[in-house]
Amino acid sequence: MAAPVVIGLSAVVMAIRDGEAVVLAVRPRDAELQGLPFGPFSPEGHRTFELALRAFVTEQTRFDLGYVEQLYTFGDKGRDAPLADMGAGAARVISVGYLALAPAALDSHSADSDWQPWSRFFPYEDWREGRPAALGVIEPALRSWAEAGAGGGSQRLARVRLLFALDEAPWNEERVLERYELLYEAGLAQEAARDRGESPAALAPALAAALGEPMLSDHRRILATALSRLRGKLKYRPVAFELMPEAFTLSALQRAVEAIAGVPLHKQNFRRALERADLVEGLGRLETETGGRPAELFRFRREILAARPVSGLSLPLLRE
């Protein structure tokens, strides 16, 4: 008799706090690792997946979701092991992942949830201050794995070079998921050994820190999927404004976009692109609460969404 199937829902809730992109994390009772807000879908009690997601996120974190979109369905066998137990017993757990964006990282008032920077889980993805030191630590381990492959590992090495920008290959910030999956395949992601029922290999502290913190179940894969989706979507939909308050400075908007994309942007070219797209409107008043030089406040012209097709933001990179 086939094992029953249970549908679970997982939420990647992202916001901006103090110029950093943060994700809402939860730690279930007695769990050593953090994960994403998650819970079961009940066909009898929930009319839609999204309503169920909003309800259990609020229950777990006391946080009401705003913008929500479905990400992907995760169904790999064993993906729920360990600690993503939703009372399913031996059932096969299929998870539907969602991305949610919030205009403020409000405290949830729940002891088992908090906001964590996404870079805590993917430190090698943050290029805002130049090539991250974490990549220099990871590179020897990746090359060693690649060279151990069939035929001298030429195909593996080509993938490593392309994804991790080795040997002067260009960096593609959107390929977060592919990079995590390669680390998983190479056995460097701690979740890989755990999912095989093995004890994770003892890593040097510097390498463990460079690889980022593991998460419950396959929640780091879900987070990587969400970050990949959001980084790509920045360029073709105005989703960045879902992370901003009603009134914001252009500097705050740029810092938010950089925090998500993980790359530094050219200030003047970023503002010129905003002007050409006609996405923002000055409010005629200044931001004075930062203690620095007053800057003009703007708003997102949300009404244009109903008037015409609207693209995302240009990401003019700051070249060194």
Domain assignment present for residue 315? The answer is: no
Mean pLDDT is lowest, of 72-76, 121-125, 131-135, 174-178, for 72-76
pLDDT of residue 82: 42
Mean pLDDT is lowest, of 200-209, 212-221, 282-291, for 282-291
Burial of 290 (0-12, 13-18, 19+ CB in 10 A): exposed
Reported pTM:
0.90
pLDDT at residue 199 greater than cutoff 70:
yes
Q: What tokens were used for 320?
A: 């060194």
Residue 300: strand pairing partners: 280
* Spatial contact of 101 and 69, defined as CB atoms under 8 Å apart: no
> Do residues 242 and 152 share a domain?
no
> Do residues 222 and 165 share a domain?
no
> Do residues 169 and 90 share a domain?
no
Domain assignment present for residue 163? The answer is: yes
> Do residues 13 and 84 share a domain?
yes
Mean pLDDT is lowest, of 84-98, 133-147, 216-230, 278-292, for 84-98
Q: What is the mean pLDDT of residues 76-85?
A: 48
Q: What is the mean pLDDT of residues 115-120?
A: 96
Mean pLDDT is lowest, of 40-49, 183-192, 217-226, 238-247, for 40-49
> Do residues 203 and 223 share a domain?
no
> Do residues 28 and 49 share a domain?
yes
Q: Which residues span the domain enclosing 113?
A: 5-121+216-234
Residue where a domain terminates, one of 211, 226, 255: 211
pLDDT of residue 37: 87
Domain assignment present for residue 314? The answer is: no
pLDDT at residue 84 greater than cutoff 60:
no
Beta-strand pair 5-17/67-74: unpaired
Residue 16: strand pairing partners: 21
CATH of the domain at 51: 3.90.79.10
What is the distance, to the nearest Å, from the Cα of residue 169 to the centroid of all Cα atoms in its chain? 23
Averaged pLDDT score across all residues of the chain: 87
Radius of gyration over every alpha carbon of the chain, rounded to an integer in angstroms: 21
pLDDT of residue 36: 92
